[in-house]
Structure 1
């Protein structure tokens, strides 16, 4: 029996092959057509007649837990007293939320699945070693529940940020040994439960995105979070297919097993990512329609040189590098919001901030997907030969220019800063003072 998504894919693939043949037979002077993501003829859902809280401008920040980048404090993990560790971790989070509230931040994108572990009490994933230093060790409290309680008390929203496929950030023997030790735990790591799903890519352990059961597993994790916690949203970051030239993902066998009928492995990979986004979107809407689903992809969908619908840029493209057809997800209404990472200044010719911000605004314009722009707080005040604007007057003029454009451009409904701990760094303090004046309470 052929389901609707299969029929859609087959029809789309046939249109692609026909269009490609016509293009090859046509005049060479004609511009290339966007062959893969034709705008679907769909009836948009009715818009609410009164403004909702979700339509207010988002002033957000990403709070990363992978490698304890933003939280929890590194020194908390080494405390011999569990009570002291819990107290220190909770107080650090309270202090951060208090500061964010003073700055006018109204949404926190909290990384609850940094790898193959969880920062909530899960029946699917073991506890994160970011909390205690040991995978699977009960931290004595529920960080996601605590974050939600504290943020909601302050009138701030929380989106559960998940990295869908990463299992571990390195492949060192100590890491593999720690994962193997979870075999007796309930739940154990996916590394020991489904070794046939595990691959190495970008010098990291990942779950192979081409395996249907693995995508179902990720969807079940999202369902668990949405069902058990009053999260305001769920967000995937840009790590779908994440590989490097030195450490590619070896999914040749997976392609032989599941890739029949695809013209290329690249098309098949994009289909796999599409399948994940479709089923996660559908699952969230079935469980809790009010929970927003979003993705924070790389800032460039495709370059104009590769696709007439692409942006006038020369950057690494999500479509071609991560096999994520992010524009299509917006067009099909699969996302409540998209938050592209536009981590460049106005003067970066290969990927100008204003060019990309306006391109994305045009993409979302005929849809009901909200657009929030990810801004590179981590670059503010940092010397750069290729992007010197970040240090001119401590980066404040560049930051101001980007925020001004976001607020003045129809279709852009918010800004998200990457990432929280850079609000506490010496090189960003003039910019933080500016944010306080602009956004602060």
Structure 2
């Protein structure tokens, strides 16, 4: 029996070819299978919820030990660039609007730098540039912006080497200042208690921000390393730089070391380029309630505050960071660290700054011993939880490579439902709350629409992207309804493709976004037949 189901009425170019696959025509034999199929679609359609117009949708691209990119050391320049564009195209199709790219995994660089050597994960040899030469970070930024996606440069501030015998370049800062380096477990780290290490990390960040057109600096959960059996070896630095702290208060001293670094980084970023955001992605638990009445009702084995010496909510309160992206890599209903409980705990600690949530697609597995991770609706349910919490405005997913595999239909859930409409990255009014100028002129020629803009007086106000709205003539247009967003583009023109067999009239409107996602007044419509 043939069953044709058309669930999509939103006007989109190539609507039928894109949105109705693979579900447009379903062939099943037997009434029972047909009824099950109808039931599936009715359930799916009923679960479809309105999408927010403004939402952060990011994916981490890890480079350390070649987790996501490059797929292995020593790839040719052409192969590396091909992998970049393939990754970006994949995530653009999934509805993502930001990439969090690891550009400094171990005091090395995925960009040209006079401060640190080229990463070994590029060519196989630390200090060796790509050949033929190109600058990977610059390439990532250009290609991300071309697709209307932000590029957040992800750095690990203190990690120096994944193994103590990793061959370091002769130019590495570790040879110039061996007193800055400590071995803990099987890794090498900068000692955060030494003032010069904080200054050096700040120099590195300032250098990147000043030379590259990136959108944000991003740090993850690695401050002081996760605790091992032995104590972190900072006895010497404590004796030299304790600032009056007593030995029994070494935890407070370590937290203040990280506080100082975070504030220095934010000050440096904002002085250099005030529109560049600063975000932190901490471990998912600040403190357990057993250790602090302000903590979450969880029983995490490690916490930001007590083990990583990262007092993340203080940074939110002080306005030292622009967004917090806790890694909630647990399932809904976990008995010790429940996703929903933690999402609601973090929403109460946004303090007027942006709050997003990190998810774990890497845990989805049909053969997982944890039942919930074998169910295809675990991550969709997490997205729905977040969309019911006004203080949380988006998600990020760890990590890119898992989207190439079997995520039990999660990719289709994003494309066909949760991320089917493009989303504007939420604005940050504490950085800039002035909308840019609206478009100066809008012209239609056949199926093509072009527009002009007014000259901007500053970098903060210049046109950065354009939101294309479309609706059928006679349909009531609503500016806050994400269903009317056709696309978000960089160019000043768009050519529409045929939507219907019989042409209908549509209205097209355009607005301007600045670098921080402030939106201009929406233009008056032009009409065209598609």
Q: What TM bracket, shorter-length normalisation? A: 0.7 to 0.9
Deviations 1:137-190 (A, max 9, x none): 011110000000000000000000001111111113xx1xx21xx22xxxx112
Partners of 1:239 and 1:410 lie apart in 2 by 28
Report the equivalent of 1:232. 215
Report the equivalent of 1:432. 411
Partners of 2:319 and 2:191 lie apart in 1 by 26
Deviations 1:309-332 (A, max 9, x none): 111111121000100000111111
Q: Secondary structure at the match of 2:386?
A: helix
1:327 lines up with 2:313 in the alignment: yes
1:397 lines up with 2:377 in the alignment: yes
Partners of 2:219 and 2:252 lie apart in 1 by 21
Deviations 1:372-395 (A, max 9, x none): 10001111126444x420112xxx
Report the equivalent of 1:144. 137
Q: Report if aligned partners of 1:125, 1:189 keep a CA contact under 8 Å in 2.
A: yes
Structure 1 stretches of at least 4 aligned residues deviating more than 6 Å after TM superposition: none
Unmatched 5+ residue regions in structure 2? 1-52, 422-530
Report the equivalent of 2:263. 278
Instruction: Indicate how the Cα distance of structure 1 residues 199 and 279 shifts in structure 2: closer, same or farther if over 3 A, else same.
Output: same
Q: Report if aligned partners of 2:366, 2:408 keep a CA contact under 8 Å in 1.
A: no
Task: Trace 1:147-158 onto structure 2 (pairs within 5 A).
Answer: 147-158=140-151
Report the equivalent of 1:268. 253
Unmatched 5+ residue regions in structure 1? 1-54, 80-84
1:362 lines up with 2:341 in the alignment: no
Report the equivalent of 2:111. 120
Partners of 2:185 and 2:57 lie apart in 1 by 32
Partners of 1:383 and 1:217 lie apart in 2 by 45
Report the equivalent of 1:372. 356
- Deviation at 1:410? 1.1
Q: Report if aligned partners of 2:111, 2:138 keep a CA contact under 8 Å in 1.
A: yes
Q: Report if aligned partners of 1:201, 1:243 keep a CA contact under 8 Å in 2.
A: no
Q: Secondary structure at the match of 2:378?
A: helix
TM-score, normalisation: structure 1: 0.80
Report the equivalent of 1:99. 90
Report the equivalent of 1:45. none
Q: Which has the larger radius of gyration?
A: 2
Instruction: Indicate how the Cα distance of structure 1 residues 101 and 199 shifts in structure 2: closer, same or farther if over 3 A, else same.
Output: same
Deviations 1:252-296 (A, max 9, x none): 111111114214110100000000001001111111111000100
- Deviation at 1:424? 1.0
Q: Report if aligned partners of 1:113, 1:161 keep a CA contact under 8 Å in 2.
A: yes
Report the equivalent of 2:462. none
1:312 lines up with 2:310 in the alignment: no
Partners of 1:370 and 1:110 lie apart in 2 by 19
Aligned residues: 363
Bigger fraction of residues in strand: 2
Report the equivalent of 1:70. 68
- Deviation at 1:135? 0.5
Q: Secondary structure at the match of 2:356?
A: strand
- Deviation at 1:349? 1.5
Q: Report if aligned partners of 2:101, 2:154 keep a CA contact under 8 Å in 1.
A: yes
TM-score, normalisation: structure 2: 0.67
Q: Secondary structure at the match of 2:349?
A: helix
1:337 lines up with 2:323 in the alignment: yes
